[in-house]
């Protein structure tokens, strides 16, 4: 078992080291400020982030490091992003690699060119980091299911079998709806960090407006089914949810 602490969680929770292997994302972006923001957010959301500024470096690094996904800016200093995109798809003997194109260009024609060259998705700058994360997760769920859907996840009295959506608490099998299970596993996978409401809305409901109450309704239902064990789900008012050992009694240790 690993003890995992985060800046938001004063007291680490125990989660098996086998819980997840981080997906590796290569960011190809010549603007350092944007690259820094991207990598910061990717790392905060449990991805490994590698950054290169030039297209040629991207082609080299992809062969060396085999990232699980590439975020590619089309306006690069050395090569047109379209050429990088095309070459990434021509790499013989390597598996197809998902690519999300991000660019300041936003005409419909540009988007179609990006997608026709093999990009899996396309975002126009400026874009929401949350939307980017939701798109990354959606792609990785298809291409690398083990990154998000590890076989099992255990903490405290909880044991989740992720592919079968089975939850056992203190040895008792609890029946959850698909949405309830998805919410619980998303919160649990955050390793004790606060999972923001917006992030849950994006990943579980595919996005929603701030007045959408679906999340609250499902969390209430989930808590009711969990009974005593619901104390493991800590509500950080106005921010989100986290898993924390209630025996440690540190509801206020989650600071924003």
By 3-state DSSP, what share of the chain in percent is helix, strand and coil, each rounded to 5? 40, 25, 35
Q: Which is nearer to Ca ion, 53 or 154 (CB)?
A: 53
Q: Which is nearer to Ca ion, 33 or 209 (CB)?
A: 33
57 binds Ca ion (CB under 5 A): no
Contact 170, 229 (CB under 8 A): yes
Residue of 8, 10, 20, 30 that binds Ca ion (CB under 5 A): 30
Residue of 23, 67, 73, 195 that binds Ca ion (CB under 5 A): 73
CB of 86 to Ca ion, least distance (A): 18
Q: Which residue's Cβ lies closest to Ca ion?
A: 75
Judged by CB under 5 A, the stretch of 15-23, 24-32, 43-51, 209-217 that binds Ca ion is 24-32
Q: Could you count the other beta carbons within 10 Å of the beta carbon of residue 2?
A: 12
Q: Which is nearer to Ca ion, 68 or 73 (CB)?
A: 73
Q: Helix 178-188 and helix 197-205: axis angle, to 10°?
A: 140
CB of 30 to Ca ion, least distance (A): 5
Q: Which is nearer to Ca ion, 58 or 169 (CB)?
A: 58
**In this structure, what token pair is assigned to residue 161?**
């079998």
User: How far is the C-alpha of 22 from the C-alpha of 48, rounded, in Å?
Assistant: 6
Judged by CB under 5 A, the stretch of 19-27, 30-38, 148-156, 185-193 that binds Ca ion is 30-38
Q: Which is nearer to Ca ion, 14 or 78 (CB)?
A: 78
75 binds Ca ion (CB under 5 A): yes
| Cα–Cα–Cα angle for 188, 190, 193, rounded to 5 degrees | 110
CB of 85 to Ca ion, least distance (A): 14
Q: Among residues 156, 208, 201, 210, which one has the least CA distance to residue 182?
A: 201
Q: Which is nearer to Ca ion, 10 or 31 (CB)?
A: 31
Q: Which is nearer to Ca ion, 73 or 121 (CB)?
A: 73
Backbone torsions φ then ψ of 215, nearest 5 degrees: -60, -45
Judged by CB under 5 A, the stretch of 73-81, 84-92, 127-135, 210-218 that binds Ca ion is 73-81
Query: What track of x and - describes contact with Ca ion for positions 114 through 133 (by CB under 5 A)?
Result: --------------------
Q: Could you count the other beta carbons within 10 Å of the beta carbon of residue 8?
A: 17
* Beta strands, E only, the chain: 2-6, 9-15, 24-28, 48-52, 69-73, 99-103, 121-124, 152-155, 158-161, 166-169, 172-174, 195-196, 233-236, 240-243
Pairing relation of β-strands 240-243 and 233-236?
antiparallel
Contacts with Ca ion: how many residues (CB under 5 A)? 3
Q: Which residues bind Ca ion (CB under 5 A)?
A: 30, 73, 75
């Amino acid at each position: 078992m690993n003890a995992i602490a985060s800046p938001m969680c004063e007291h680490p929770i125990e989660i098996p080291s086998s819980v997840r292997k981080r997906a590796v994302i290569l960011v190809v972006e010549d603007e350092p400020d944007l690259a820094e923001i991207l990598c910061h957010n990717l790392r905060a959301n449990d991805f490994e982030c590698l950054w290169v500024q030039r297209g040629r470096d991207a082609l080299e690094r992809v062969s060396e490091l085999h990232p699980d996904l590439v975020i590619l800016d089309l306006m690069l200093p050395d090569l047109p992003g379209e050429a990088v995109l095309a070459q990434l798809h021509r790499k013989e003997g390597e598996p197809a690699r998902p690519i999300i194109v991000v660019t300041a260009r936003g005409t419909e024609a540009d988007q179609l060119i990006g997608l026709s060259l093999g990009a899996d998705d396309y975002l126009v700058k400026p874009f929401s980091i949350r939307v980017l994360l939701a798109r990354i997760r959606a792609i990785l769920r298809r291409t690398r299911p083990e990154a998000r859907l590890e076989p099992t996840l255990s903490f405290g009295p909880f044991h989740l079998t992720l592919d079968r959506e089975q939850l056992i608490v203190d040895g008792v099998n609890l029946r959850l709806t698909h949405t309830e299970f998805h919410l619980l596993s998303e919160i649990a996978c955050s390793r004790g960090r606060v999972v923001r409401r917006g992030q849950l809305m994006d990943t579980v409901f595919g996005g929603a407006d701030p007045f959408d109450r679906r999340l609250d309704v499902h969390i209430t239902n989930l808590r009711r089914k969990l009974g005593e064990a619901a104390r493991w789900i800590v509500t950080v008012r106005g921010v989100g949810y986290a898993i924390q050992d209630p025996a440690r009694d540190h509801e206020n240790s989650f600071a924003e």
